[in-house]
Structure 1
Amino acid sequence: MSLVDYIPGLNPDDEATKWNRRRSAKRAANYVILISMSIMYFFPIFWMAKAALQPRNELYDQTVYYLPQEITFENFRALLVDSQFLTFYANSIIVALGVVAVTIVTSTLAGYALTRVELPGKKRIAQTTIFSYMYPPILLVMPMFLLWYAVGMTNTYVGLILAQSALTVPFSIWLMWQFFQTVPISLEESAWMYGASRLRSFFGIALPMAKPGLIAVAIFAFAVSWNDFTMANILMQEPSMRTLPVGVLFFTESNAVDWGAILSASALIAVPPLLLVYFLQRYLLRGFRVAS
């Protein structure tokens, strides 16, 4: 006999029914919210892909077609053959991979040092790095341009990689600092007792255990570099050195916009970040969950 049997006027069946109804209503509301958000986020992607596969005359038609009346790859052919899109694509890949490498090396060493080496005010240093990330790129780009121009680093991969790394390294240091705090130092101390050097314990113990954090930093750095417009637009003046966000801008003219080329380019630009996040999402979520 349960407690509810001793309460006058309380029917256990009615209470169970009400609870089940509330649970069903809450679940239905959650599904409605999730479906609505999915439609809101994925509809622009669907519309972009649909428009990229449409003939150019349909793009300027006053009638709205939710599905293409005719599927064509003419927009992609013109983009890949008749423009410098592949050059822009190669530039973006080179710069993004360089930014990822610089960010991982810098943030990993700095984060490890802030958690393992006795430094005066190291906690304040680690917390200060996150505030430097709050400055918008527009405040940094002009001083960087003047400095880069003086030393001859404009229109170079190295110059743009270093400039974009200035946007990714501060947050990545804070992220790795948070993550290395979850790696027990007792494991490294045990290795030291058996004669392992600090360098060996770093590569053999701390770094493998920080793998989710490293992947989270890599995805973050890649995304920032891949989507950066401000730094690339100012530091890369040569047409052959433009990256994708800047290169796509030049598909617009003073009195016309080549929507077929822009939408096709947007579809191809979205492929690498989507694949990267799809295959590494569990590490990304784990890394940011630890940092939070």
Structure 2
Amino acid sequence: MSYNTSKSPIERIIDYYVRNVPHATQRRLSTWLFRFLVGATVIVVGFPTYVMLKASIQPELELFSNTFLFVPQNPTLENFAGLFTETSFARFYLNSIVAALGTMVISVVSATLAGYSLTRFSFPGKKRLAQSVLFSYMFPPLLLALPMFMIWRDLQLLNSYPGIILAHSAHALPFDIWLMWKFFQTVPISYEESAWIYGASRLRAMRDVAIPMALPGIIAVSIFSFAISWSDFTFANLLLTQESMKTLPIGMLGFIEQQAVNWGLIMSASVMMALPAFLLVYFLQSYLLRGFSVGGLG
């Protein structure tokens, strides 16, 4: 069999594979290659999580031993117990939960109303306004945090739940509004017009027709807003200076001492910090899929 000398070695190997290997064998090889790539991806992505979980239940002597153990020999919950007995972790956790839930509620309500208005009402400069909203998200948080600190200080919003919730909402809303604007564009207005014909008001048509069909966007906005607040460091570091008002990203800095780093506390705190985000996505995924089916996108 002659080969085209202009082809590269890889191209000749692929050509030989396609021409001479049976199709059944090609399918089996493709399946095993796909499984290998998926498994390799899971290992690469999941290995840091595995190290975090393992280190959180290892005693200090075992954690810093020279021998790497895939499974801890003496698992313990001392690190988790130390979080609540030796540190103010419970207070940091409560502050983060309040800030994240407050940000999620404000962002969902504001973004839903803004996205619906940008889609259903006509006014001068509407398209330019919608595009500029996303552009404002390009500014780094530190650029916004400094003037926000001065404004919040004059309004006496420093070291308060409303202050940090408003700051996180202001940071998350540009993308949330743009996302809801795009989702409401996929909702046919004819469905709302049918509701109007049967006597429904615009508000009721929006509540019973438009919002259920835009549910995937609302769930995505909820998750995004929660994540923005839950992992924020910049705004919380400037606006929350009292020890009793610090959130998790700021409070965990106390685990890094001048002479040493308490890795056991850091890893157990990281597990506790990752848990709410995991549970949020896990329990909302069914509603997300249901929203796709309601919206005719599934």
Normalising by structure 1, we get a TM-score of 0.89
Selected match of 1:222 from 226, 240, 264: 226
**Structure 2 residue 171 is matched with structure 1 residue 167:** yes
SS in 1 for 2:22: helix
The aligned counterpart of 1:255 is 259
How much identity, in percent, do the aligned residues show? 51
SS in 1 for 2:71: coil
- Find the aligned partners of 1:124 and 1:51 in 2 and give their Cα distance: 50
How many residue pairs get aligned? The number is: 277
Structure-to-structure mapping, 1:34-45, within 5 angstroms: 34-45=38-49
The aligned counterpart of 1:109 is 113
SS in 1 for 2:153: helix
Selected match of 2:285 from 268, 276, 281: 281
Structure-to-structure mapping, 1:43-62, within 5 angstroms: 43-62=47-66
- Find the aligned partners of 1:290 and 1:142 in 2 and give their Cα distance: 44
Runs of 4+ in structure 1 deviating by more than 4 angstroms, as ranges, are 14-17, 282-287
The aligned counterpart of 1:70 is 74
Paired AA for residue 156 in structure 1: S
Selected match of 2:100 from 69, 72, 96: 96
Is contact 2:157-2:163 (8 Å) kept? yes
Structure 1 unaligned residues grouped into runs of 5+: 1-13
How big is the shift at 1:123?
2.0
- Find the aligned partners of 2:269 and 2:238 in 1 and give their Cα distance: 21
How big is the shift at 1:23?
2.5
How big is the shift at 1:226?
0.6
Is contact 2:215-2:288 (8 Å) kept? no
Of the structure 1 ranges 103-112 and 195-204, higher mean CA displacement relative to structure 2 is found in 195-204
Selected match of 2:158 from 154, 159, 169: 154
Paired AA for residue 97 in structure 1: L
How big is the shift at 1:17?
5.6
Paired AA for residue 69 in structure 1: Q
CA RMSD, Structure 1 to Structure 2 (Å): 2.1
- Find the aligned partners of 1:23 and 1:130 in 2 and give their Cα distance: 44
Structure 2 unaligned residues grouped into runs of 5+: 1-17
Of the structure 1 ranges 54-63 and 234-243, higher mean CA displacement relative to structure 2 is found in 54-63
